[in-house]
Amino acid sequence: MATALALATLRLRAVATCSLGRPRARRTWIPLLAAGLLVAGCAGAGSTAKAWPPLTFGPEADVDASARQIADRARTAEVVYIGELHDNAQHHLIQARILEAILATGSRPALAFEMVPESSQAALEAAVRSDAGRAEVDRQLGWSALGWPDFAMYWPLFELARKHGLPVVGTDLDPGLARRIGRNGLRAAGDDPARLRSALPDDLARDRGIVQRLEAAHCGQISQDRANRMLESWYARNVVMARRVGGGLALAPQVVVIMGRGHGSPGGVPEQLAALRPGTRQLMVGLYEGQADGPTEPMSDVVWVTAKRPRPDPCLSLPQRLG
């Protein structure tokens, strides 16, 4: 599936503006369109009990001063999620400023990326430790080939990791495996499905809400059965990401996670990590565009709204793009 479909689907009204996952290049991306993108439910730090009073920032906020406030709050957090809209350049600027502010406090966190699958960990470490330029690192990681938005927006984070010698962690499930699960369910996971099964107790209401958002993210163009299989793939991705983030705490006392905000949804990475590693102190920063929408706003520890941008309705062309 063309990258344009990935970016267009990221623009799905309130559903998509709160829930970004992995964009996919070419037709291989179709089965998991919403397996990472979908979840507009966007929760926060894996618990209904908030460790911090909420912080809110609007489009006119001073970026550096706001980033320092977040860094001060992050001092006691083991995991700091900075949930983005993947194609919003302002969100990536804010992420870099927050990381700089955290570094200024003396912390040396591990830096974890949703965009890099766990199978590319060695390539990620080699790229960050090398002096390769932006285009070469993009090629080594297969970033653009996977359909992610412009690597230039993420490059300042890589430069900070190099400058400060930060450990780096690729967190996502292997794309091929994620696609197989999206098509055929968890039974397609091979010999180790237990590692990919959600660590959370069953919750039919939560699952029903996710499936509804999957269907909405596909403009009603997928069947209930396909949406159910995508649900399994979405859980698989989130539990793997949680395992990888937890593993990052063996490399550094704190992990900063760069991910689509939808992975902070109910059933997403923070809740999975809370189940796998009870008591982990997690701080969720939700970056929004235009408005803080859906259940994310009250669940995020930090709500930062950036200026609204004009976006076309992707449902106008989705049936044609899906063939």
Average pLDDT, integer, range 67-85: 97
Predicted pLDDT of residue 50: 63
More confident residue, 305 or 9: 305
Angstrom distance (rounded) from CA 71 to CA 275: 25
The DSSP symbol for 317 reads T
Q: pLDDT tens digit string along 284-294?
A: 999 999 988 76
Residue 129 domain boundaries = 3-321
At 43 the pLDDT is 33
What does the pLDDT average to over 281-310?
A: 86
For the stretch 79-96, pLDDT in tens is 999 999 999 999 999 999
Range of weakest confidence among 84-98, 162-176, 304-318: 304-318
Note the pLDDT tens digit of each residue in 213-231: 889 888 888 898 999 999 9
User: pTM for this structure?
Assistant: 0.85
Name the one residue in this structure whose structure tokens are 């699952």. Answer: 207
pLDDT per residue as tens digits for the range 18-32: 333 344 333 333 233
pLDDT at 18: 36
Q: Say what the pLDDT of residue 46 is.
A: 40
Residue 8 has pLDDT above 60, yes or no: no
Beta strands in the chain (DSSP E): 55-57, 79-84, 110-117, 168-172, 255-260, 282-289, 302-306
**Main-chain dihedrals φ then ψ at residue 79, nearest 5 degrees:** -130, 130
CATH number, residue 264: 3.40.50.11550
Strands 302-306 and 110-117: unpaired
Contact of 231 with 33, CB cutoff 8 Å: no
Total of domains in the chain: 1
Going by pLDDT thresholds of 50, 70 and 90, the confidence category of residue 238 is: very high
Reported confidence tier of residue 250, pLDDT bands at 50, 70, 90: very high
Q: State the pLDDT at residue 317.
A: 63
Helices (H), 168-223: 175-184, 204-217
- Whether the CB-CB separation of 245 and 112 falls below 8 Å is answered with yes
Query: Residue 176 above 80 pLDDT?
Result: yes
- The answer to which of 35-39, 149-153, 307-311 has the lowest mean pLDDT is 35-39
| The pLDDT of residue 213 | 85
| pLDDT score at 319 | 54
Mean pLDDT of 275-303: 87
